[in-house]
Amino acid sequence: MMGPAHSLSGAAAWLGVGAATAAAGHPMPWPVLVVGALLCAGAALAPDLDHKAATISRAFGPISRGMCEVVDKLSYAVYKATKKQGDKRRTGGHRTLTHTWLWAVVIGAGTSALAITGGRWAVLVILFIHLVLAVEGLLWRAARVSSDVLVWLLGATSAWILADILDKPGNGADWLFTAPGQEYLWLGLPIVLGALVHDIGDALTISGCPILWPIPVGRKRWYALGPPKPLRFRAGSWVEMKVLMPVFMLLGGVGAAGALNFI
């Protein structure tokens, strides 16, 4: 799928989690709902760090473009080193390592570890990166015609404001993990969810997605998981733009209403 659909699906997924926790009698504080949705929207772009033409490649200028080059080569090297007889030959690393459940878990765990060991500045960096990605995804057209610096300023300002709001008692810095020193441990959860939602979205397209790696399926270790081929669509097609994106918007709205106890 394309960037806007990925980001919308990520935000909708976290809002759905908010509705589920509210239904279970443990509602999220509203700052956790908002910040989590934005983090998840940004994280839903991150697996395409292995693709030089993806939205994330332009999000941070030369830094993100350079990272895309490195991750593409790393992913390709891992593919070649671990592929089985049934896996096809490739010329690049797109939709390999960063499009797996293992990558999602490792990145999410790393985010949580950074948040609880790095203090406020680590939290601000995490928020800044993912809020910039969320702007790039959710406001794709506006971000494309604006200056990158303006997008970065919006991300930095929003990160500072939201971190201050979360720090206030009862607003969610210690949501879910309440032991001393576990503030912001939950930040890894929307990162994991966003990456997995991205992978599921890509699995619906023609090429499928090797979400299960490194678990082998038959003669393949990089089995492209997806529905039957007649049910798949091309990335950026009318199915994605005219059907799935409105569905994500509707699900996100319902999830938000449920999370805030409006329904």
Three-class SS string for the chain?
CCHHHHHHHHHHHHHHHHHHHHHCCCCCCHHHHHHHHHHHHHHCCHHHHHCCCCHHHHHCCHHHHHHHHHHHHHHHHHHHHHCCCCCCCCCCCCCCHHHCHHHHHHHHHHHHHHHHHHHHHHHHHHHHHHHHHHHHHHCHHHHHHCCHHHHHHHHHHHHHHHHHHHHCCCCCCCCCCCCCCCCCHHHHHHHHHHHHHHHHHHHCECCCECCCCCCCECCECCCCECCCHHHCECCCCHHHHHHHHHHHHHHHHHHHHHHCCCC
Residue type (1 letter), 134: A
- 225: phi then psi, degrees, rounded to nearest 5: -70, 145
pLDDT of amino acid 165: 96
Whether this model's pTM surpasses 0.75: yes
| Tokens standing for residue 170 | 């009862």
pLDDT of amino acid 180: 85
pLDDT of amino acid 224: 93
Measured distance CA(195)–CA(95) in Å, rounded: 12
Q: What is the mean pLDDT of each run of 10 residues along the chain (263 residues)?
A: 90 97 92 97 95 86 92 95 92 92 97 94 96 89 68 93 94 89 94 97 94 94 92 88 93 95 86
